[in-house]
Amino acid sequence: MKSAALKGIGFVLMSIAFAGQSHAANWVKLSENGTSKLLIDKQSILEKDQLTRAWVKVEYKKAQINSESADKTYNLSKLLWYFDCPAQKSATTQVFQYMNAETVFSAGIDVKAAEFIEPVPETDLDRAMRYVCTRAQPKKQQETKLASKPLESKPSETKAQTAKTQENSPAEAEKKSEPAAAEAKPAESKKVEAKPEEVKAAPEKAAATKPTKGNTHAAHWTYEGKEGPENWGKLQPEFAACETGQNQSPVDIDATIDAPLKTLKGIQKVPAKEIVNNGHTIQANFKEGNMLLLDDTPFQMKQVHFHTPSENTIKGKPFPLEAHFVHADKKGNFAVIAVVYKEGKANAGLEKLWSQMPKEKGAPVPLNTKVTAQELMPENRDYYRFSGSLTTPPCTEGVRWLVLKTPMTVSKAQIAAFEEVLHHHNNRPVQPLNGRVVLE
For residues 108 and 43, give the distance between their C-alpha atoms in angstroms, rounded to a whole number: 21
For residues 302 and 208, give the distance between their C-alpha atoms in angstroms, rounded to a whole number: 30
More confident residue, 205 or 136: 136
Q: Catalytic site residue 425?
A: no
Whether residue 34 is predicted with pLDDT greater than 80 in this model: the reply is: yes
User: Please, what CATH class does the domain formed by 252-422 belong to?
Assistant: alpha beta
Measured between alpha carbons, how far apart are the two ends of the chain, in Å?
41
SS (H, E, C) 35-103: CEEEEEEHHHCEEECCEEEEEEEEEEEEEEECCCCCCCEEEEEEEEEEEECCCCEEEEEEEEEEECCEE
Mapped onto helix, strand or coil, the DSSP state of residue 279 is: coil
pLDDT digits (tens, 9 = 90+) for 224-248: 999 999 999 999 999 999 999 999 9
pLDDT digits (tens, 9 = 90+) for 366-383: 999 999 999 999 999 999
User: Please, what CATH class does the domain formed by 6-244 belong to?
Assistant: mainly beta
CA 247 centroid distance within chain: 18
List the chain domain ranges: 6-244, 252-422
Whether residue 143 is predicted with pLDDT greater than 60 in this model: the reply is: no
List, in order, residues 6 or more apart from 99 with CB less than 8 Å away: 63, 72, 73, 74, 75, 76
Among residues 220, 280, 305, 307, the one annotated as catalytic is: 280
Backbone angles phi, psi at 313, to 5 degrees: -120, 155
For residues 249 and 114, give the distance between their C-alpha atoms in angstroms, rounded to a whole number: 31
Please name the amino acid found at residue 252.
D
Ranked by mean pLDDT, which of 18-27, 153-162, 179-188 comes out on top?
18-27
The answer, as to whether pTM is greater than 0.85, is no
Q: Are 276 and 363 in contact (CB under 8 A)?
A: yes
DSSP label at residue 307: E
For residues 209 and 215, give the distance between their C-alpha atoms in angstroms, rounded to a whole number: 11
Mapped onto helix, strand or coil, the DSSP state of residue 164 is: helix
More confident residue, 120 or 78: 78
